[in-house]
Structure 1
Amino acid sequence: MKKIIALFVALLLSISVFASVNLNTASEKELIKLPGIGKKTATAIITEREANGAFVDLKDLAKRVDGVGKKTVEKLAEAGVTFAEEAESKE
């Protein structure tokens, strides 16, 4: 029973970490924690974001960043990532 409770708590904590990640403001370390995102892809996301502006949605992310395909998009959708602008999220 203790193992089940521990697994449930770990699951809840991991979901809350993913849900709070805004792909338009996240650091490399935050991006790497997401499912399907490694160091190379995290760097590519940041480089593209800095060069061409904020991402609109997952479709836009996949179109603009090499290494982000259908499977990664599905994982990110399940993780609940956001794309809100920094100013909007402070309101």
Structure 2
Amino acid sequence: MLKKLLFAVASMIVTMGFAFADVDVNKADQAALDGVKGIGPAKSKAIIAERSKNGNFKDWADFETRVKGIGDKNSAKLSQAGLTVNGQPKPAVAGAAVNTTATAPATAASAKATSKDTKTK
């Protein structure tokens, strides 16, 4: 009984890992696109139809322009959910994560300086 439970938990963890894998819009089939949060069957069909008709997407701007209903905000959410174009996440999404981390130490340092200034006065 315990072995079956452990096996079930291990299987669930492994499948969750696959769910968060990056999906390239130029290589994915409909099932893979449907697995990305925010893309349903209708949107995945539209993506595949556009890709079949006019070739692979060059970049995120090309993807947003060619697929109806994919704008800047929607594409940012899709990128965060694991969608890539030519293996690349949307640049603004990647930059936002880096900037947040970079500013955190500066904010903490300025808070300490403010705290010291208040104590010495």
| Same fold, TM-score > 0.5, yes or no | yes
Q: CA RMSD in A?
A: 2.5
Matched with 1:76 is 78
Q: How does 1:20-39 map to 2 (within 5 A)?
A: 20-39=22-41
- Distance in 1, matches of 2:21 and 2:83, equals 5
Structure 2 unaligned residues grouped into runs of 5+: 1-8, 88-121
Aligned-residue offset at 1:40 = 0.9
Matched with 1:49 is 51
- Distance in 2, matches of 1:73 and 1:29, equals 19
- Whose RCO is larger (CA < 8 A, sep 6+)? 1
- Distance in 2, matches of 1:68 and 1:62, equals 5
Equivalent residues, number: 76
Matched with 1:17 is 19
- Distance in 2, matches of 1:18 and 1:63, equals 26
- Distance in 1, matches of 2:20 and 2:60, equals 15
Structure 1 unaligned residues grouped into runs of 5+: 1-5, 86-91
Instruction: Answer with 1 or 2: which has the greater Rg.
Output: 2
- Distance in 1, matches of 2:60 and 2:35, equals 17
Decide whether the 8 Å contact of 2:59 with 2:86 is kept in 1. Answer: no
Q: How much identity, in percent, do the aligned residues show?
A: 39
Q: Secondary structure of the residue that 2:23 maps to in structure 1?
A: coil
Aligned-residue offset at 1:83 = 2.7
Decide whether the 8 Å contact of 2:25 with 2:85 is kept in 1. Answer: yes
